[in-house]
Amino acid sequence: MALSDARGVQTSATEPGSMALLETAMRQFQCYRGDAVETIDRALAEDPDFVTGHIFRTAMHAMLWERSVLPEVEAGLARLRALESAATERERAHVAALADWAAGDWDGMRARLDRILADEPRDALALQAGHLGDFFLGDRDNLRGRIARALPAWSRDDPGYGFVLGMTAFGLEECGDYGAAEDAGRQALALEPDDCWAQHALCHVMEMQARQEEGIAFMEGRKDHWAQEDNGFAFHNWWHVALFNLDNDRYDRVLEIHDTALRPEPSEIQLEMLDAAALLWRLRLRGIDTGDRFERLAATYEALPAEHGFYAFNDMHAMMAYVATGRDRAAAQLEKAALAAAEGAGTNARMTREVGLPILRALRAFGAGRHGEAVDLLMPVRYRAHAFGGSHAQRDIVHRTLIEAAMRDGQRGLSQALANERIALKPDCPFSRSLRRRAGAPA
Ligand SMILES: [Fe+2]
């Protein structure tokens, strides 16, 4: 007899043991803890035709959003196609969504997940994978909208309800509704204290409202809930703690976080590498010596040329590492790969064309001391940069680079104007005030 999951979503599974392991793996995904793939592999070893298990496993790889996972995704899809006759309609829609991802049609994947959720809003995998897809594509409206469409179908007693509130919080935050985001995030943590995505959403609220000291205390005081040894998202939450410290000029602490929590080992995971690049670039813009950290990071990027041109947001961070270390040849190769991607098919072609390439070129100009050219390239794209993914906090690096380029180019009027804009958005941020002083804008 076909079984339903813990939220009552019908599947084609027939083995209760497989479904129990799926629930364990789903919770690991929701908490970003442990190894959800290892858990689902245990189910698949006993039950090789477990369609939902293969879908879950394949989605876990796709959610890393880098080219290196394509072989695993393709293998999962091949297995799923062989099992198609046993799958439910919803499961077949998941397979089609994963096939879209593998083909580079990331918009198509998100649209399919939306359709799945319209019929089955309690599909926890579709909801979270869709939410992450919205994040990777910088679609703030759907970060909020996708969860809002599904939330009424959930009740407080459902397993995982708190995580839905955590996603609600992040979507509201990205849409600038900070009060509602904070309410949802705190409710989420009351239900699921280890929801590191809700923790992260609250951290974003504090970042956007320049509540640095409160943010540090909030994060450091709840470390047991988000920075556990087996937490796969801790690196990014630590990155946020480093940002709070950076804007309060505590550079030693920033470097300590980089070395101990953000990049203790030379990981080749793009998501981890990009946070390191973003932090080191911010330090560099401030004129802080980062030792050989950028060299080591750039060497890792250079060893992974297959990732060039796969995802524009990753490309920007690789370029920062190349520019910072004077790797002109690698920078040129990356730009060439991005140009080829822009002329190709798929969602990344649009992202690279509209945002990625101008930013890559701006970074190269900045590195070569052609600051006026960097300004000219960044000005038109800075408010369109959401189209290549990430969060407001991450894309702030574009604005920071622009204002630094304007100042180094001696563009006094523009520097002051941009400093004024920052002060208007974040009046209490010490970094904003220091920029205003440097730009010579009136206090
Ligand atoms: Fe973040």
In a domain, residue 7? The reply is yes
Is the distance from CB of 128 to CB of 161 less than 8 angstroms? Answer: no
In a domain, residue 341? The reply is yes
What letter represents residue 198's amino acid? A
Q: Mean per-residue pLDDT for 2-26? A: 97
For 42-65, how does the pLDDT look when each residue is reduced to its tens digit (9 = 90+)?
999 999 999 999 999 999 999 999
In a domain, residue 232? The reply is no
Is the distance from CB of 97 to CB of 111 less than 8 angstroms? Answer: no
How far away, in angstroms, is 204 Cα from ligand 1 center? 6
Note down the domain range covering 344: 263-410
End residue of a domain, out of 103, 134, 165:
134
On the question of pLDDT at 165 being above 70, the answer is yes
How far away, in angstroms, is 275 Cα from ligand 1 center? 9
How far away, in angstroms, is 394 Cα from ligand 1 center? 7
For 304-331, how does the pLDDT look when each residue is reduced to its tens digit (9 = 90+)?
999 999 999 999 999 999 999 999 999 9
On the question of pLDDT at 191 being above 90, the answer is yes
In a domain, residue 116? The reply is yes
In a domain, residue 277? The reply is yes
Domain containing 12 — which CATH number? 1.25.40
Cα–Cα distances in angstroms (integers) from residue 182 to residues 19, 87, 137, 263, 319, in the given order: 34, 40, 23, 29, 34
Is the distance from CB of 22 to CB of 5 less than 8 angstroms? Answer: yes
Q: Mean per-residue pLDDT for 186-190? A: 98
**Which band of pLDDT confidence, cut at 50, 70 and 90, is reported for residue 427?**
confident
Give the chain's domain count: 2
How far away, in angstroms, is 428 Cα from ligand 1 center? 20
How far away, in angstroms, is 245 Cα from ligand 1 center? 15
pLDDT at position 318 is 98
pLDDT at position 441 is 66
**Which band of pLDDT confidence, cut at 50, 70 and 90, is reported for residue 389?**
confident
Per the confidence metrics, is the pTM higher than 0.85? yes
pLDDT at position 125 is 98
Average pLDDT, the chain: 96
In a domain, residue 45? The reply is yes
N-to-C CA span, the chain: 71
End residue of a domain, out of 102, 134, 166:
134
pLDDT at position 442 is 67
Which candidate, 147, 237, 234, 222, places its Cα nearest to that of 184? Answer: 147
